[in-house]
């Protein structure tokens, strides 16, 4: 697959603490119909590490069955290398086009341990891998040197980098580009940073917002991919109240999951406890922003 | 069970990436023979979140079968509340005397989410629970207010607090003591801080060193429990080169696991990849300290 455009990361909704298959299929079909460039299944937004191996295999099978021609990128992260290898095998059997791997940790990992993990996994893959750098959840920060080493491994297709400020994005992307082979695509995450990342040379936006509101995200992505950064910025600026919610409520997950509940796209509660969607005033804030921005699933 | 004295946390050694049952039984029997006050099975040192439900149930059964009259405290932490409930049930079926629960996170948890987790778990328990505050691995920091709320739940037996400096320990322990019921025991972790915690009023030392070197840890613990803090401090000071290794190599786990390999107590490599024991100069440092301190399993 080609790592470009909008990669839309779906929630993995629950119903009575089990995978809500019907709601999940609706979310995936919504992304197919909208025409996103790829679908991220079981990313952080999809709460991948909270699910069992069987649950994850089921979700991925549903995703590939309902995504049509749109490639599916599957999160295969886990604490233990053995489990990552099993999950990568399951994902490939489910027909995904790529896998996404973050160095999930409980005991903090060293650079060599993370390198060995990526080496062990890429050795077994027949689809490309996206290196998932998400220090907010993994508590591991990739050095540029480690990314450069991992980029030399086989089957590396993309590097998903964390949010970066508008000022630092050009320098950050240029520096990484200089250290990795040309065929590896850089991707930006952190939806509020998307245009900054794409302007700076990222080829793909790994998007949380796009997983629920593909039209709103596609407006930004298509403008940026067409080179009209002013229009992309205008579309992104229009969503500033949403980006503000992400910041106010500890990230995008709870806001997007709450929005999905409020809009009836998923049952309530849709997240795996102990993680919960927002309540009270926070929930009303989300409802207000959805209405103001006229966001539709 | 009474949460006092030395609680010795054992490694969960692997052989060819599977539980090394024979080595695990030897570690547990070593603790029984040494006469520690309780055995911690599947704590952080035992790498609990890296193992499957089945592996964890097997390890706990071996621990209770070989611990004699010594109570076993079992780590039941997991990312998802559902899994914690299952693990707590498995642990009780295996015959443990208490469970240990840390708020393991991938998406950062809120105070209310953590409270709800402990409420859900304590409601189902018929053994006491030790609240495991370990921000270094969970990335969640308990406020004193949250600890006070959780302390009101049924079946709370102990609070395992993180390392604290000698200067701050008395104040820290006194403040917590004032906020929790008298029957709940405070426990110190971070072996280098043990005597400071015990001097300040902690009743139990949750010890990594004690899991491999029970005699060395018992010397400290017994002196402290007898009120001879000068002797306890002298025994702890004698182990300063070991505490220095813990600091230098990112915590106690890799040092103790490397020591266990060097002494032939476990096979090599004994940790679940991607986590690895120490190599090269770091490994030689561990060997040198073992020899200098004449540490024996």
Of A50, A79, A108, which has the smallest distance from its Cβ to B50's Cβ? A79
On whether any CB of chain A is under 8 Å from the CB of B226, the answer is: no
Q: Which residues of chain B have pLDDT under 50?
A: none
The pLDDT score that the predictor gives to residue A74 is: 98
On whether any CB of chain B is under 8 Å from the CB of A248, the answer is: no
Q: Are strands A18-19 and A14-15 parallel, antiparallel or unpaired?
A: antiparallel
The pLDDT score that the predictor gives to residue A135 is: 95
Q: Which among A274, A278, A280 is the top mutation candidate for probing chain B, defined by the most B β-carbons within 10 Å of its own β-carbon?
A: A274
A-chain residues within 8 Å CB-CB of B250? 108, 110
pLDDT, tens digit, 9 for 90 and up, residues B187-207: 999 999 999 999 999 999 999
Of A103, A109, A274, which has the smallest distance from its Cβ to B116's Cβ? A274
Name the strand (E) or helix (H) holding B216. helix B214-225
On whether any CB of chain B is under 8 Å from the CB of A42, the answer is: no
Delineate the domains of chain B, giving CATH numbers in brackets: 5-237 (3.20.20.70)
Q: Which among A42, A106, A116 is the top mutation candidate for probing chain B, defined by the most B β-carbons within 10 Å of its own β-carbon?
A: A106
CA B244 to mean position of chain CA atoms: 19
Of B110, B137, B273, which has the smallest distance from its Cβ to A106's Cβ? B137
| A139 with B139: Cβ contact below 8 A | yes
On whether any CB of chain A is under 8 Å from the CB of B238, the answer is: no
Measured CA to CA, the distance from residue A203 to residue A5 in angstroms comes to: 6
> Sorting pLDDT into bands at 50, 70 and 90, what band is A252?
very high
Rounded mean pLDDT, A58-64? 98
Q: Which among B54, B106, B137 is the top mutation candidate for probing chain A, defined by the most A β-carbons within 10 Å of its own β-carbon?
A: B106
A-chain residues within 8 Å CB-CB of B85? none
Q: Which residue of A has its CA nearest to B279?
A: A112
Rounded mean pLDDT, A50-78? 98
B-chain residues within 8 Å CB-CB of A55? none
Cβ distance A74 to A96 under 8 Å?
Answer: yes
The pLDDT score that the predictor gives to residue A163 is: 93
Q: What is the largest CA-CA distance in chain B?
A: 49
Those residues whose C-beta lies under 8 Å from the C-beta of residue A254, and which sit 6 or more positions away, are: A271, A275, A276, A277, A278
Interface pTM, i.e. ipTM: 0.97
A-chain residues within 8 Å CB-CB of B12? none
Backbone angles phi, psi at A126, to 5 degrees: -120, 10
Of B44, B109, B272, which has the smallest distance from its Cβ to A80's Cβ? B272
The pLDDT score that the predictor gives to residue A82 is: 98
Q: What is the DSSP string of B232-272?
A: HHHHHHHTHHHHHHHHHTTSHHHHHHHHHHHTTSS-SS-S-
The pLDDT score that the predictor gives to residue B191 is: 97
The pLDDT score that the predictor gives to residue B273 is: 98
How long a stretch of residues is chain A? 297
Q: What is the DSSP string of chain A?
A: ----EEEEEPP--EETTEE-HHHHHHHHHHHHHHT-SEEEESSTTTTGGGS-HHHHHHHHHHHHHHSTTS-EEEE---SSHHHHHHHHHHHHHTT-SEEEE----SSPPPHHHHHHHHHHHHHH-SS-EEEE--HHHH-----HHHHHHHHTSTTEEEEEEPP--TTTHHHHHHHHHHHS-TTSEEEE-SGGGHHHHHHTT-SEEEESHHHH-HHHHHHHHHHHHTT-HHHHHHHHHHTHHHHHHHHHTTSHHHHHHHHHHHTTSS-SS-S-TTS----HHHHHHHHHHHHHHT---
The pLDDT score that the predictor gives to residue A80 is: 98
The pLDDT score that the predictor gives to residue B32 is: 98
Q: Which of residues 105-164 of B touch A (CB under 8 A)?
A: 106-110, 112-114, 116-117, 120, 136-137, 139
Please give the DSSP secondary-structure letter assigned to residue B130: E
Q: Which residue of A has its CA nearest to B106?
A: A137
Rounded mean pLDDT, A210-220? 98
The pLDDT score that the predictor gives to residue A89 is: 98
On whether any CB of chain B is under 8 Å from the CB of A80, the answer is: yes
Q: Which residue of B has its CA nearest to A104?
A: B106
pLDDT, tens digit, 9 for 90 and up, residues A139-197: 999 999 999 999 999 999 999 999 999 999 999 999 999 999 999 999 999 999 999 99
On whether any CB of chain A is under 8 Å from the CB of B257, the answer is: no
Rounded mean pLDDT, A116-134? 97
| A50 with B80: Cβ contact below 8 A | yes
């Amino acid at each position: 697959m080609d790592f470009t455009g909008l990669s839309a990361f779906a929630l993995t909704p629950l119903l009575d603490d089990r995978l809500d298959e019907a709601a999940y299929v609706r979310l995936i079909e919504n992304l197919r119909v909208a025409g996103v460039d790829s679908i991220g299944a079981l990313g952080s937004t999809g709460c991948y590490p909270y699910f069992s191996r069987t649950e994850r295999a089921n979700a991925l099978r549903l995703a590939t069955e309902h995504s049509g021609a749109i490639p599916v990128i599957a999160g295969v992260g886990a604490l233990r290398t053995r489990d990552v290898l099993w999950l990568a095998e399951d994902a490939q059997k489910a027909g995904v086009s790529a896998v996404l791997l973050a160095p999930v940790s409980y005991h903090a990992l060293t650079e060599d341990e993370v390198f060995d993990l990526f080496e062990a996994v890429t050795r077994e893959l027949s689809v490309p891998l996206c290196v998932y750098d998400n220090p907010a959840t993994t508590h591991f920060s990739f050095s540029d040197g480690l990314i450069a080493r991992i980029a030399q491994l086989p089957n590396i297709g993309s590097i998903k980098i964390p949010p970066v400020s508008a000022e630092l994005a050009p320098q950050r992307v240029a520096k990484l580009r200089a250290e990795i082979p040309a065929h590896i695509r850089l991707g930006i995450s952190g939806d509020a940073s998307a245009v900054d990342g794409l302007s700076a040379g990222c080829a793909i936006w790994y998007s949380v917002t796009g997983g629920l509101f593909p039209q709103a995200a596609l407006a930004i992505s298509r403008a940026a991919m067409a080179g009209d950064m002013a229009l992309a910025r205008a579309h992104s600026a229009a969503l500033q109240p949403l980006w503000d919610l992400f910041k106010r409520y500890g990230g995008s997950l709870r806001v997007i999951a709450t929005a999905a509940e409020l809009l009836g796209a998923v049952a309530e509660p849709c997240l795996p406890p102990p993680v919960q969607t927002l309540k009270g005033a926070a929930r009303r804030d989300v409802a207000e922003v959805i209405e103001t921005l006229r966001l539709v699933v």
